[in-house]
Structure 1
Amino acid sequence: MQHLPADLQAAVERTARPGADVSACADRGDNRPTACEVERLRGRRRVLAHDQEPVFEASMDDLDQAVLDAVVERTRGIAPRIFGKADRMDVLVKLGAVAEDPEESGRYVPTLAGLLAAGFFPQEFFPRLNVTFTAYPGVTKAHLDGVRHSGTQTVNGAIPEMLERSLELLREHDIPEHLLPACREAIVNALQHRDYSPGARGAQVQINLFADRLEILNPGGLYGAASLSSLQHGISAARNVRLSQLLGSTPCGRPGEAPGCVVENLGTGLPRIRAALQEASMPEPELRDFGTAFRITFFKRSPAEEERGGKPWADFKAALISELEKTGGMSVAEIMARSGLSRNTVFSKLRDLKLRGLIEAAERPKSPKQRYRLVGGRAPK
């Protein structure tokens, strides 16, 4: 049996589950830690600077200069005594967005943090530092009707673009607006705090949407002094210090919205998530630290909870699927009564679910007895 290096044993014992085999990664079954797992565990005990690495294959042309200008302007406004009269490139170097090439005087190249915050296409150099979004029709990845998922979409770009596109995908899949602030915080946290060490650059941030929940998974467990307990009180530790600093000044937002920045480096991520969920009368999120990965899960309210609350279905698709699984089929009038939505809204949502292959009409088109059922489901009653 291969044991972990002695300098990691204490760290593993502190983070392992009670009774777990702390000599290695028992979840894999062979009790041998991989080089990547050892590297990540070492990272929990010392300050790393993977986000500060210069990307010598890239050039300043790979960075959006307008974004860099906005970062510099905001930085000068926040700390005018330090940066007010500083040269633009000097500011960017001090922020960790760019670095001088030691082999070519006067040449500057982006750092990893700079590419992630302001790059046109960071995936040219790091193809897997992106987001995958997958919507599953049921509550598991293998659904009973044989439909595994409605397609995985890859989200590329710098972090501001990946964030906004991920939120657009959630909107397209009927996540209501009042839940998006919590989702936004979780996606930002995943992109900001994920593991960017060389061994983890082949792993993506995953957004997995199920009928009953939303999971956001990022490579890299909690870092440094952070723990599941400390997160509840807004106490955090930044694995990627330079990236976090940059994102605090990086502009982000949908067209027409008030301008803002990607993150606030105040350790308020989880408290803000919980506040948003409480305001929406949603269940508490579930947090899981796997050591080499971190997952946050948002649970949807059941249709019964929606009805008791006297509010429209917060998640139309999940609520309708649940009702159709119980009843076998429903008319538009019944769906309107249960959901609290208008006829036009119900028809629009039914049309979308039909196009996605989740439901089907049980009668001929325009039949006055028309009912809708799950594809491959029971016959309507």
Structure 2
Amino acid sequence: MRPLRIFISSVQQEFKEDRLELCRWLKNDPLMRRFFDPFLFEELPAHDRRADQVYLEQVRACDIYIGLFGYDYGFENAKGVSPTEEEYNLASEEHKTRLILIKGNEESKRHPKMKTLITRVGTELIRRRYQSISELISGVYAALIHDLEERKLIRNSPFDAAPCRGATLLDLDEEGITTFLRRAKRGRGFPLPIDATSFELLSHLNLLDEDKPTHAAMLLFGKQPQRFVMSSEVKCAHFHGTEVAKPIPSYQVYKGTLFSLVDQAIDFVMSKINLWVGTREGGAEVPVAYEIPQEVVAEAIVNAIAHRDYDSNGSVQVMLFADRLEIWNPGGLPPSLTLEKLRHPHGSVPRNPLLAEPLYLTKYIERMGTGTGDMIRRCREVGLPELEFSISDGFKTTIWRKSSSTTGQVTGQVTGQVTGQVTGQVDPWIERVLRACELRGELKSIELQEVAGIRHRETFQRNYLDQLLNEELIERTIPEKPKSRLQKYRLSHKGKMLLESLSKNEK
């Protein structure tokens, strides 16, 4: 079959970047380029025909009309009608499939004639609003998948857009949804109110299939996502050497929403790598720096979780060795990307657009298509060896660590015993917390969390603070009231002995 022709209509100058990114995605996404052939006027060679004639011919020839409506109305002809409205009128007369996406929410800035056009369109079909290019892509993606299903060109939706079997709106975490709405509004100006219902949010984010939650909805907002997608868990391991070897000193299998998985995996790595602590010579604040910049670790983990192949039974793996950090995920690169292209600016081709958009709205993803380049730049800036991308039964990112001889940092190795029980190696985060208690006396939980370098409060409470208490390295100041709002923590006798042992081994 021939590809379905898509005509992208808009005021060209206002939507220059939007049009190019949308067209690039349609041409590069494996599924989209199989079924669709987008048209952009900018890609036509120069000729002696009037632009409006070419536009209207392309509208007649297209199968799907995508209208991007913004604030400008555009140049008006002798009848006072802009090309955008003229194209929409013709698409309606020709009974084309029409997808209308409206950019922005500041109605006071919108041209009066554009307001009128948007109102008229609203009486004829369903419109979608968007704020960012990633939101535009996810909206078009959901609409085109539905169109392919209506035309019976595909039997099964892509994983993120497919309905999650057995899931209902009751399986969604309302508290998590409220947290998302708050973060998205604060971070990206998300238009929905903080008290929006789960149905309203999922509808806005294109996460419903006939009013049923999709896989993407459950991965992002489910109470128990792994109940529906077991392989979505993330496995993290820490090895003291340079090879996989048992027993594994530290191994965690994290579950939860994608937001929680990202936070927990980042915290796992940051708590175990070295931290350089400076002096107060330059001011009141003590400068600190991780051996691997946190934004590099975060980008690699977010990419692995957001762009993995969820049809695979494999899980994302994060493995920290003495000389490197490896992050592996099921799935490879889309056909339009190569390992070399990842090292340079490239178009964004998200494997799972419906997952990528909410991650962008909450700032887990900053700018589409720039993350890998930023990772390379930051590693160079801090003097790390060149990071590596490779494909081997999946996609792997390798971030090399500095050798311990050049870092001048505490490695946390202990060879003696503390009361006959603390032996082997101590994670750097444990030493940081104990040193802070030694210097500052009593600290609140949030202060310990900051010292440990853990972003996620629940993760810190469950996997870090409890460990310190269970191993009796710190103790509560109000032990009879564990949940007191006045609760603080101080170094225990056992913790003091551990620090003494660490100090002896450093000499």
TM over 0.5: yes
1:203 alignment counterpart:
314
Q: Match of 2:271?
A: 172
In structure 2, how many angstroms separate the alpha carbons of the residues matched to 1:247 and 1:239? Answer: 13
Structure 2 CA distance for partners of 1:367 and 1:216, relative to 1, 3 Å: closer
Aligned residue for 2:400?
A: 299
Alignment check: 8 A CA contact 1:224 1:239 kept = no
Partners of 1:112 and 1:279 in 2: how far apart? 39
**Is structure 2 residue 334 aligned with structure 1 residue 223?**
yes
Gaps of 5+ in 2: 1-29, 36-156, 276-288, 416-430, 439-451, 453-467, 472-497
Residues 184 and 46 of structure 1: is their aligned pair in 2 closer, same or farther, counting only changes over 3 Å?
A: farther
Residue of structure 2 in register with 1:242 after alignment: 354
In 2, the alpha carbon distance for the partners of 1:136 and 1:115 equals 32
How far is the alpha carbon of 1:205 from its aligned partner? Answer: 0.2
Aligned equivalent of 2:301 = 187
Match of 1:285 in 2: 387
What's the offset of the Cα at 1:172?
2.6
2:310 alignment partner AA = Y
Asked whether the 8 Å contact 1:45–1:224 carries over to 2, the reply is no
Letter in 2 for 1:116: L
Q: CA deviation at 1:65?
A: 3.1
Alignment of 1:127-138 (within 5 A): 127-138=230-241
Q: Report the TM-score when normalising by structure 2.
A: 0.45
d(CA) in 2 for partners of 1:219, 1:347: 42
Partner SS state of residue 318, structure 2: strand
Separation in 2, partners of 1:156, 1:71: 18
Is the CA contact 2:316–2:330 (under 8 Å) kept in the aligned structure 1? yes
Partner Cα distance (1:91, 1:151) in 2: 38
The 3-state SS of whatever aligns with 2:262 is helix
Task: Describe the superposition over 1:264-286 as per-residue Cα deviations: whole angstroms up to 9, x where unpaired.
Answer: 35112112212322232211211
Q: How does 1:58-137 map to 2 (within 5 A)?
A: 58-68=167-177, 74=184, 89=199, 92-100=202-210, 108-137=211-240
Report the CA distance between 1:189 and its aligned residue: 0.2
Task: Note if 1:316 corresponds to 2:411.
Answer: yes
Offset at residue 347 of structure 1 (A): 12
Helix, strand or coil: the match of 1:228? coil
Question: C-alpha separation between the residues in 2 aligned to 1:366 and 1:118?
Answer: 42
Counterpart amino acid of residue 120 in structure 1: K
Determine helix, strand or coil for the equivalent of 1:248: helix
Please state whether the residue corresponding to 1:168 is helix, strand or coil.
helix
Cα distance between partner residues in 1 of 2:273 and 2:241: 15
Secondary structure of residue in 1 paired with 2:230: coil
Quote the offset at 1:196 in angstroms.
1.2
Aligned residues: CA RMSD: 4.1
User: Deviation string for 1:220-278 (max 9, x for gaps)?
Assistant: 011231211211123142111111122222x3xxxxxxxxx222351121122123222
Flag the 1:122–1:265 CA change in 2: closer, same or farther, 3 A: farther
Q: Which runs of 5+ in 1 are unaligned?
A: 1-41, 101-107, 252-260, 307-311, 325-340, 356-364, 374-381
Structure 2 contact 328–395 (Cα < 8 Å) conserved? yes
Residue 154 of structure 1 and its aligned partner are, at CA, apart by 0.2
How far apart, CA to CA, are the structure 2 residues paired with 1:136 and 1:71? Answer: 34
| Contact preservation (8 Å) 2:327, 2:398 | yes
Question: Equivalents in 1 of 2:345, 2:321: separation in Å?
Answer: 28
SS of residue paired to 2:219: helix
Aligned equivalent of 1:53: 162
Tell me the distance in 1 between the aligned counterparts of 2:500 and 2:185: 64
1:140 to 222, 227, 243: 243
Report 1 or 2 for greater relative contact order, CA contacts < 8 Å, sequence distance ≥ 6.
1
Shift in CA distance, 280/109, structure 1 to aligned 2, threshold 3 Å: same
Whole-Å Cα distance in 2 between the matches of residues 267 and 366 of structure 1? 45
Q: Give deviations 1:284-327, integer Å, cap 9, x for gaps.
A: 2111023x400001111113333xxxxx32x725xx69xx9xxx
Count of residue pairs brought into register by the alignment: 264
CA distance in 1, matches of 2:274, 2:243: 18
Q: Secondary structure at the match of 1:217?
A: strand
Whichever residue aligns with residue 266 of structure 1, its letter is: M
- Specify whether residues 372 and 126 from structure 1 end up closer, same or farther in structure 2 by C-alpha distance, changes over 3 A only: same
* CA distance in 2 between partners of 1:219 and 1:154 (Å): 16
Asked whether the 8 Å contact 1:218–1:293 carries over to 2, the reply is yes
Secondary structure in structure 2 of the residue aligned to 1:316 = coil
The alpha carbon displacement at 1:152 in A equals: 2.0
SS state at 2:326 partner: strand
Cα offset for 1:45?
Answer: 7.8
Give the match's secondary structure for 1:267.
coil
1:50–1:196 CA contact under 8 A, matched in 2: yes
Aligned residue among 267, 274, 282 for 2:376: 274
- The one-letter amino acid paired with 1:298 is I
State how far apart, in whole Å, the 2-side matches of 1:129 and 1:367 are: 42
